[in-house]
Each structure stands twice: as structure tokens, then as C-alpha cells.
Chain A
Amino acid sequence: MTSAAASTAASTAAATPAPSPTARPPALLSVGDLHVSYGAITALRGVSLSVGQGEIVALIGANGAGKTSTLRAVSGMLSPKQGSITLDGKPIAGRKSHELVPLGMAHAPEGRGIFLNLSVDENLTLGAYLRSDHEGIEADRENGFTLFPRLRERRQQRAGTLSGGEQQMLAVARALMSRPRLLLLDEPSLGLAPQVIETIFKILRAVNQTGVSILLVEQNAHLALGVAHHAYVLETGQIVMEGTGKDLLATDEIRRAYLGE
């Protein structure tokens, strides 16, 4: 994918009048003019996006486009150089990660972020670190085991002994343990067998039905756009296109650049 292709895509999208602008729900998360850099390297240059209440929003883009950096800034893993981030209208840019968890933020980070030195059960317990409703926590743990039965069999095992796919399941299950309102997922399908990917996406839909809003970063554009109410395309640190998942799936440029058709 070259940036030329993206800018063509962007201008095409801008030129075509939106067929029926579906009204989006009020924003839970809203990001405006976000700039992020790592030392001298600039990763994001003015990203604006929003996640409505109850929406699944996909963020797609090539390697190095800045998807992970966007999620990191939103969840407080790094503080932005410039720009605003609001959750429920409250400014949260620059706040530390642990202060955002009680506001309903959960982030399953790139590379899964499993504590390999702890057991599967301990990982899940940490997902609920700030909660004190013991019964609710155990119910949610059971729920996680129902979603991913393999985890139940391995609950006493050190998470480092899980397969990559099982670790990915644990990452999703753990993120749900905090009962989030906004779930950030960084490539949940990475390294998983097609069947497992299907299961995970089914689960994400079900979780979304319970009212959890999701910001989904995916390499697998086909899957992501299929499930998303709304989607953004990120290219070298900027949003170059947005629309409903369906609309973007139908766009020639997207099909060519991200779906390999």
C-alpha cells in the first residue's frame, strides 16, 4: 500500500456524496487532532476519530500507520504531544493508564500483554484488580471460561506455557474482567487459526450487544469492516478515510489496498 493509493482513496471518498449518512450515536470516546511522537519519530499527525455509545469502530491501516500508537495514547500508555481525548466528555489526555481503568477503559494491547510469570487465574484476577465485588468477579471469571473453555482447563498453569492462540484468548477474557464500557483491542486475530478468529469475533459481537463499545485495530480488514458499525483508515499517522464498515468494504480502493483484490 502506498500513500498515493491512499490519497486517491481519500479523495474518491470525499468526492462521492455519502449515500445515506446514518446518524451515529453520541460519542463515548472522542479523539481530536491527536499528535504522538517517539523522540524524533512522529507516529500520529492530527488523528481525529470517535467511538459512539454501543458502537464497534474499526481502525485499519498498513504496518506502521499508527494504529497501536492511537490505542496507546487513548489508554494512557503514552501521553500525546498535542490534541484532545475525551471519555464521556471528560478530558483524559495525559492521564495515567491506571486512572482510566475506573472510568471504564480496558485495553488488550499489541503483543497481548499477558503476564507470562503468573497463572491464567492470576492474570484474570488482575484484570479485575480495581473491583472488590468478589461474587461478581467470580461470575465474570466463569463467564470467561464459558467463552474460552480451554482457559478453564489451564487455569492453574503459568500463562507462559499457553500457546500463542490461548494467550490471545486470555488477553480478551482478561480485558473483559474489568467490566469495561470501552474496550480497545489491538489485533485480536493475530496468530489465530481461522476457526478461533471466528469464535473471537462472535464473542466480540456478543460483548458489544451487552452495551460495551469497542475500538478494534485489525490487520484483517475484511473481518474488521464486516463487524464494525463505523471504520477509519489510517495512513502514516493520519485518517485518510472513514465511513460505515459496509461502505468501506464496497470501496474499490479499500478492496485493492487492504483486501488484496
Chain B
Amino acid sequence: MSDLLQHVLNGLAAGTIYALVALGYTMVYGVLKLINFAHGDVMMVGVYVGYASAKQMGRDTSSSFLGVTLVFLLSMAMCAALGFLIERFAYRPLRDKPKLTALITAIGMSFFLSYSFQLEASLGGLTVLPGAAPRAFPDVITSQVWLIIGDVVVSNKQVISVVVALALMGGLQFLVFRTRFGMAMRAVSFDHRTAGLMGIPVDRVIALTFMLGSALAAGAGILYAIKDTLVQPLMGVTVGLKAFVAAVIGGIGHVPGAVVGSLCLGLVEEFVVGYGGSTWRDAVAFGFLIAVLLFRPEGIFGRVTAEKV
């Protein structure tokens, strides 16, 4: 019984991190109808920025509350800038071209990021590209057990990652559904030409959406890396693909759907691993995707939209 509870807890904690990445996929899909395959790699870049800034600060500073916060903010800001550049120079020129063109560009961008980070390069003593060797993320948060109920152990990292993820998601939900900018985003998502007729600066809304999604991915990446995961240039591909699966399961373009899909995926994976099938983890994750798509092609929350003529 307590075993079960522990797995549920671990699964939800993992799911919230997927959710932050999945939200980026879903938001960008929402405004551009583009699967941004480079999204996971943007997350990877965010992890390296976090890695570098934590190293730069040194162990004492980076593990203080202020230091950790700064690591998160720096990484999120850098990724927002990267997201802006990718949208501006890779996707915007293709906006009116067939969707496939942009999709292939997105895949190319993913390769570009993940493989250029496998190169080693430095400029005047400053490391610019880290190289392929896996590294351990600096210990900015020291593992502690915060709560024990029976046999169920709750660690500080789990609590922090759930709290940070929930706060970011809550902020996003507020932004999308309660603000003027959010209304503009939803309008652009439905029909960007008509949105322009309302006076909405469509290009700016799309750029900001990219920046927001990329910043969320950076936050997720650091939460992920903190859980004793090794940092390496291809990490974005796997996590990105999983989060993409979660977004599709929830119904791509649907904000709460991305969260529910991610939690489901986190739970499914945790149960598979927890009950002895760790080699089956990825197979089950993608099997889950196929099962959902077979029975509900629009995802759990996706709506089949019909237009009135």
C-alpha cells in the first residue's frame, strides 16, 4: 500500500516536470500550428546555462536561496532569448509556406542545437560549447528528507519541483485566461489574420509565446537536472519527445490537457519502473500514446472543431 503511494508521489513529481516542457509544445502549437521539435533542445541549452552559472557562482553562493533563484532566472532568460532568435530567424520567414517546411526546419534546429553542443569550443578561456561528455549538475539543492509518513518518503527536491512547477503553471493559466495578452494569444491561436484586424500585433504575440514556452522549458530542465540526472547534449531529445507525447495525449494546443497528459505519463512511467519493468519504460510510454491516439485521436481534452458555415 505504502509502496503504491510512494510510486504515485514519484510519478506526479516527474509528471509536473514533463508538464512544464509539454506546455511549451502546446503553446507554440496553439499560436503557430507548428510542432517545435527544437523545444527539448532549448531545454537542454537552459540546463547548460544553469550548469555554467551555478559553477561560476561557486558552491556556497549557488546553493543559497538567492543563488538557486538566480540560476533559474538566468537560465530562463537565456532560453527566452534563444526562443526569440529561433522564432525570428528560423520560423517566421516560413510562416506562409507549407507547414511541412517549418516542421522540417524545426527538426533541423533540434539537430543543430543538440549536435553543436557536442562540440567543444571556448573563447578566451570561456567555455562556449561544452562537448559530449556527461556532467553531473552542481548540487544547488542538497537532498533532504522532508516528510515521512509510514514508509512513504517525501524529499525536498520533490516538494520544490512540484511547487515550482505548479507556480509556473498557475502563472501561465492566469496569463492565458485572465489577461489581455492571453486573450490576444487565444485569438492569434484561432486565426492570426483576423487577430491582426483587431489591432493585435500578431508577430509580437507569437514571439512572446515562444519566449514564454522556452523559459518554462529552461525551468523544467533545471528541475529535471537537479534530480541527479546527468547533463549531456542529447538529454533534450528524450525529455522533449516524452513531453511531446504528453502534450499529444492531453490534446495538443490545450493548456490543462498538457498538464493532465504529463501527470498521466509520469505515473505510467513510474509504475512500469517501480514494478520491475524499467527496460520497458519508454516502450510503455509510447504504447500509451498509440493507445490514446487510437481511441481518442484528438487527445484526452482536444475538441473536434467544426465551423459553422
**Does A associate with B in a complex?**
yes
Q: Which of B135-143, B189-197, B255-263 contacts A (4 or more CB under 8 A)?
A: B189-197
Kindly state whether residue B186 has any CB partner on chain A within 8 Å. yes
Within 8 A of A (CB), among B148-197: 180, 183-184, 186-187, 189-191, 193-197
Taken together as a complex, chains A and B put the C-alpha atoms of A106 and B197 apart, in Å, by 7
Chain B residues bordering chain A, tally (CB within 8 A): 22
Kindly state whether residue A77 has any CB partner on chain B within 8 Å. yes
Taken together as a complex, chains A and B put the C-alpha atoms of A178 and B200 apart, in Å, by 12
Main DSSP-derived SS at the A contact region = loop
Taken together as a complex, chains A and B put the C-alpha atoms of A164 and B195 apart, in Å, by 20
Q: Are the CB atoms of A163 and B308 closer together than 8 Å?
A: yes
Within 8 A of B (CB), among A75-133: 75-77, 96-98, 101-102, 106-107, 109, 113, 115-118, 122, 125-127, 129-130
Q: Are the CB atoms of A129 and B184 closer together than 8 Å?
A: yes
Chain A min CB distance to B184 (Å): 7
Taken together as a complex, chains A and B put the C-alpha atoms of A125 and B191 apart, in Å, by 16
Question: What residues of chain A lie closer than 8 Å to B308, measured between beta carbons?
Answer: 116, 160, 162-164, 167
How many of chain A's residues touch chain B, expressed as a range? 20 to 34
Q: Are the CB atoms of B307 and A116 closer together than 8 Å?
A: yes
Q: A113-B191, A164-B309 are in contact. Are A118 and B183 (CB under 8 A)?
A: yes
Q: Are the CB atoms of B183 and A126 closer together than 8 Å?
A: yes
Q: A125-B183, A126-B183 are in contact. Are A116 and B305 (CB under 8 A)?
A: yes
Tell which of A115, A122, A160, A164 touches B191, judged by Cβ atoms closer than 8 Å: A115
Q: A115-B194, A116-B305, A164-B309 are in contact. Are A178 and B187 (CB under 8 A)?
A: no
Tell which of A102, A122, A162, A163 touches B183, judged by Cβ atoms closer than 8 Å: A122
Question: What residues of chain A lie closer than 8 Å to B121, measured between beta carbons?
Answer: none
Question: What residues of chain A lie closer than 8 Å to B196, measured between beta carbons?
Answer: 76-77, 96-98
Please, which residue of chain A has its CB at the minimum distance from the CB of B204? A98
Chain B min CB distance to A232 (Å): 22
Beyond known contacts A115-B194, A160-B308: 10 more, CB 8 A cutoff: A75-B197, A98-B200, A101-B199, A116-B305, A118-B187, A126-B198, A129-B180, A129-B199, A160-B305, A178-B198
B residues apposed to A, CB below 8 Å: 180, 183-184, 186-187, 189-191, 193-202, 305, 307-309
